[in-house]
Amino acid sequence: MTIQTDTLTDMLGQVSAAELMWNTDHIARWIRLSAMPEEWAAAEYVRATLESYGVATRVHEAEILVSLPRSASVSVVGSDTATFQAYTHSFAPSTPPGGLTGEVVYVGRGTAADYQDQDVRGKIALIDGLASPPAAWAADQAGAAAQIFISGEHLHFMIVSTVWGIPTPETAGRLPKTSSASITRADGQQRQTGLDRGPVRVRVETETWTGWSTARMVEGRLDGASEPDTFVLLSGHLDSWEYGAMDNGSANATMMEVMRVLAQNQASLRRGVRALFWSGHSHGRYAGSTWYVDHYWQELYDGCVAHVNVDSTGARGATAYDEAHAMSDVGGLVAEVVQQVTGQTPKIGRMGRNSDQSFWGLGIPAMFGMVSRTPLDPTAPAEGGLAALGITGMPWWWHTVEDTIDKIDPQVLTLDTQVTLAAVQRLGSARVLPFDYTPMVDELAAIGADLQQQAGERFDLQPVAAELGRLREGVAQLNKVVERVDDDETAGRLNRTLMRLGRLMIPLNYTRSGPYDQDLALSVPPLPSLQPVAELAQLDAKSDAARFLETRLLRERNRAVHILRQANELVAGL
């Protein structure tokens, strides 16, 4: 794939560090709690500024469920009474008035396995690590009365619901049922030392407001010249923890600057660009982006060619571009634009389930989230920093009160914005969409082979492997046709084929629930519907559990084969 070098180089030079910092500074004047008046004020600023750039706008109003932490404290009960600074978390219920008192039980990382040999019913689980949905769910399931998380050197604002977006009747029961609070590592180590001397009782007191509120989400639109019904989705959340200059004020500024430069060069766009500034990301578990999917499903399915997500750009010290996240069909594009703009060649990692990735079920290719990353400090203590808590690439002030404008580097922000602009411009202007499904077919084939090895003779995945073998040949032929395209009519037909391939293969590779629903806010393994073959191999073949699971796997294999056959028919028809 070749980038239109002259046009893109000119556009990259139009990115203004001064404009980026101006907009970041103005957005970071407000504490932008989801669906609250200060977020509305920030949304109005974004809307008015986009309009001044010549970008058409609209404001979506949506009733979403949000949860706003208000206060928390943790106190040791007894002769050596101590009170520790604490945060509570979105969707963790408030304690009763006066708090909740109980014995503390240390449970390591708080996985389901950590509770197998410990009875925490009616007790308070002390957990190493950031507050997270899986840990909160495991504590709920184990019967803990509350959870206390040891958050590291700094306290971080978090959300602990496993429900992605607004709950449905099927998922509402997974909303957290017990209170939670986080304390620092220094305080947590005091607590663990106390446990070594015998039972420790603590009082946890938290307050969280959870309810329905009206979100206002800005959408900016630029139309394309020759394919007006298709568009690139550029998105990022507007809401924030505290002032959120990096997360996500600078990213909002990146989006605005991309739209400003594209508006000045709109003639280069064959297809449109929609910029969406979400509410409900931090305090609603992606409620805003899922609302948009639910209400604009058909437009997205028919017309969205790709999703470029932008989160936490411009961080001071974020000099690493050696890793980028993208679905494998657009991994080549991402590697190319990052290398061209920054000079660094990134390793392309699999997309994680975060950053408003609410569009996988529709089969829309996705990329980014973070653009630059802070390098891992080899001199930092092993037990300190976010890396020790499983968060890599983010600076220490992520999700803290310290996320302020002084943490933004104008040069890094400019470079991040240029990378984002390059990707969006390429997706919006290329005659033929810059997608290659060969890496995704190879990825699925490798996963399938590994699962077959785990399953042994207990389950046959050969029908899936056979369809993938055919599809690799078909995609190779498709790529040859793409290389020879020299007219818009043929290009349009190929673009529809490329989009349709994504609609088929991406949900198979990335989702359990498919096009019409959302998976839980938990990690999703590749080819998720067939992953349980490994579990089948461990079960007694004559047991009910094995026979039930085999039935499920047969149905999932049928689904996978049917999807892949549709993909083969699609490429064979060229």
Position 193 scores a pLDDT of 65
Say if 511 falls within a structural domain.
yes
62-86: average pLDDT: 89
Q: pLDDT tens, 473-518?
A: 999 999 999 999 989 999 999 999 999 999 999 999 999 999 999 9
The DSSP call for residue 224 is -
Domain count, the chain: 1
Position 186 scores a pLDDT of 87
The string of DSSP letters for 197-230 reads HS--EEEEEEEEEEEEEEEEEEEEEE--SSEEEE
The secondary element (H helix, E strand) that includes residue 323 is: strand 323-325
pLDDT: which is higher, 382 or 172: 172
Position 286 scores a pLDDT of 98
Say if 564 falls within a structural domain.
yes
Position 497 scores a pLDDT of 97
Say if 463 falls within a structural domain.
yes
Say if 533 falls within a structural domain.
yes
Q: pLDDT category, 378, cuts 50, 70, 90? A: low
Which structural domain, as residue segments, surrounds residue 518?
438-572
Residue 244, CB half-sphere, CA atoms under 13 Å: how many?
Answer: 29
Say if 565 falls within a structural domain.
yes
Residue 439 exposed, middle or buried by CB count within 10 Å (0-12, 13-18, 19+): middle
Say if 495 falls within a structural domain.
yes
Q: Using the predicted structure, report yes or no on whether residue 3 has a pLDDT greater than 80.
A: no
Q: pLDDT category, 79, cuts 50, 70, 90? A: low
Q: pLDDT category, 80, cuts 50, 70, 90? A: low
Say if 71 falls within a structural domain.
no
Q: Mean pLDDT over all residues of the chain?
A: 94
Say if 24 falls within a structural domain.
no
Q: Using the predicted structure, report yes or no on whether residue 6 has a pLDDT greater than 90.
A: no
CATH number, domain with residue 535: 1.20.930
Rounded (5°) CA angle 167-168-171: 75
Residue 16, CB half-sphere, CA atoms under 13 Å: how many?
Answer: 13
Which token pair is 454?
Answer: 């785990």
Q: pLDDT category, 2, cuts 50, 70, 90? A: very low
